[in-house]
Every structure is written in C-alpha cells, then in structure tokens.
Amino acid sequence: MLDRSGRLRGFPCGAHARDRSPRQYTRWSSVDRYGYYSGVAGRLLTLVVLLALAVHGEAAPAAPGFKVKLLDGKTSLDSHDLVGKTILVLRFQASYCKPCAKEAPGLARVYDRYKARGVEVLAFHVQDTARDTRAFVRKYKVTYPVALDTKLTIGNPFGFKGSPYTVVIDRKGEMVAQIHGESAVTRLPRILDELLKNDPQPS
C-alpha cells in the first residue's frame, strides 16, 4: 500500500534502509586461509617446543637425607653436611652378592681416582651382618666408608630394588644417576667427569 509520498508502507528506505541491509562479509581467498592456518600451526609448534624444553630442563629429584653410623661404630655421617661440598656416590651392596664382589676392585679404583677431586663413595651393606661386611671389606681391600643398612631404611627411599645399586648425588643434593645392577664401574667415570667439568671442586 502506498503512503502519501508514494512509498510502500512497511518497507524502510533511505538511510534506514541502508542501516538494515544485510551485513557484508569479506570472503577469504585460499591464500588468506593458508596464511591464517600456517600462523596457528606455527604458534602451536612453538608451544610444543617450549613444553619439551621445560620437561628436559626439569631438575633431578632431590636425594633423601640420612644419618648413619659407619661400620667402625664411632664415626657418624649426616648427608646434609655434604651438600655443596662433595659429589656423593652411594653404593648399595652385600657380602653375599656375587656381582658386588666382582665389581669391588673396580669400585675401589674409581674411588682412588676421584677422591682427591671432591668425590666421596659411601657403601651400604644391605640386609647384611657386621661380621660378613667386615670380611668383605678385608677381602676386597675396601678403602671407602662402609655402613650397614640391615632393614633398608636408607635403601628404600633411594629406590633400592636389588644389589648392586649405585646412586650419584651432585653438589646440589640432587640424584643425577641411578644405576641398577652391574655396569657402575664402567659408567661412573663418564658421569663423574661430566659433573666435575660442569661443577668443579669448590676452592
């Protein structure tokens, strides 16, 4: 129906008509879409790389603290006194353990080689007797400190699953290596050399 001006009633016109016209959207070209999705993929890749670096850069687990009396029955040792001063190699072994006996001479050589460079070796004889442990020390000419861990009160917190078991603790008090079974004698020099290169003995 026409109004007095000759326009159809109910239909907007002029400026109002332009305001209510359908909104115009820009259609993306294939190049635009490629650029957008490439940017998203790039940001996702960057995030993945950063997460991977964060995982690899994660600090080693802190070593449990312990206090122990050595085999001589007189000397006591507190692990907290060694943090920042020495690299500590803990050796969990036993007199009845054949691989432990096999590696005993080699472990003694490792100790003699590195003790002057700030490395300490401490052996725990697990589920062993004082008598048998002393016999082991005499037979294999053990010169590093030895203590008993008859009930695995020290071994269990360190993840002991069987002897021999070797743990390396750096000067920050972190467990940087855990060696289950044999091979400690061959692997320790490489581990210790790397630690000493990055963290030389304090003057």
User: pLDDT tens, position by position, for the chain (203 residues)?
Assistant: 545 555 545 444 444 444 444 455 455 555 455 455 545 444 554 343 334 433 444 568 999 999 999 998 889 999 999 888 899 999 999 999 999 999 999 999 999 999 999 999 999 999 999 999 999 999 999 999 999 999 999 999 999 999 999 999 999 999 999 999 999 999 999 999 999 998 766 65
What is the reported pLDDT for 158?
97
For the domain made up of 67-198, the CATH class stated in words is alpha beta
pLDDT at residue 28, as a whole number: 52
What backbone torsions phi and psi does residue 143 show, to the nearest 5 degrees?
A: -110, -15
Kindly give the residue spans of alpha helices, DSSP state H, lying in 1-97: 14-19, 30-56
**pTM as predicted:** 0.70
Residues whose CB is less than 8 angstroms from the CB of residue 87 and which lie 6 or more positions away in sequence, other chains included:
118, 119, 120, 168, 169, 170, 171, 192, 195, 196, 199
Element containing residue 91 per DSSP (H, E): strand 87-93
pLDDT of residue 157: 96
Per-domain boundaries in the chain: 14-56, 67-198
Q: How far apart are CA 124 and CA 140, in angstroms?
A: 15
